[in-house]
């Protein structure tokens, strides 16, 4: 798999491309990979929020910013996205500190997150 990190100040590049064909093999429509990837991240972040009984105001603002960037990536069918270091740190915090039920999609998204060189 390609390296998901680009040096460039305080920005991180997150690869939004994962293999999903085997997961959706019984469906007739081909899923939007970017939308699937970003939905897994956003839903996992919301699940983490529920576990800790909500986000602080700062965390809510970070979530909104991430959500807007992901919406733009889906509309533009991007395969990777540049994310501010602070926002990427928040994504990583949600995944590192949250308790999630394992599944194939989550595993593939986490792999892409873990491949990004952080700080």
The domains of the chain are located at: 11-115
Distance CA 99, CA 56 (A): 19
Instruction: Give the list of residues 6+ apart from residue 83 with CB closer than 8 angstroms, or none.
Output: 11, 12, 13, 14, 66, 69, 91
pLDDT at residue number 28: 74
Contact status, residue 58 vs residue 90, Cβ threshold 8 Å: no
pLDDT tens, the chain, 119 aa long: 333 333 344 888 887 887 776 666 767 777 788 898 899 999 999 999 999 999 999 999 999 999 999 999 999 999 889 999 999 999 999 999 999 998 888 998 999 898 887 65
pLDDT at residue number 69: 94
pLDDT at residue number 16: 85
């Amino acid at each position: 798999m390609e390296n998901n990190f680009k040096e460039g100040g305080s920005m991180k590049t997150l690869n939004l491309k994962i293999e999903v064909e085997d997961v959706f093999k019984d469906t007739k429509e081909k899923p939007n990979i970017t939308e699937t990837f970003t939905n897994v991240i956003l839903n996992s972040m919301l699940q983490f929020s529920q576990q800790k009984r909500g986000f602080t105001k700062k965390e809510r603002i970070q979530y909104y910013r991430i959500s807007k960037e992901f919406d733009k990536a889906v509309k533009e069918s991007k395969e990777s996205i540049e994310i501010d270091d602070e926002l990427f740190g928040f994504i990583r915090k949600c995944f590192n500190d949250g308790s999630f039920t394992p599944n194939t999609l989550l595993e593939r998204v986490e792999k892409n997150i873990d491949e990004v060189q952080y700080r």
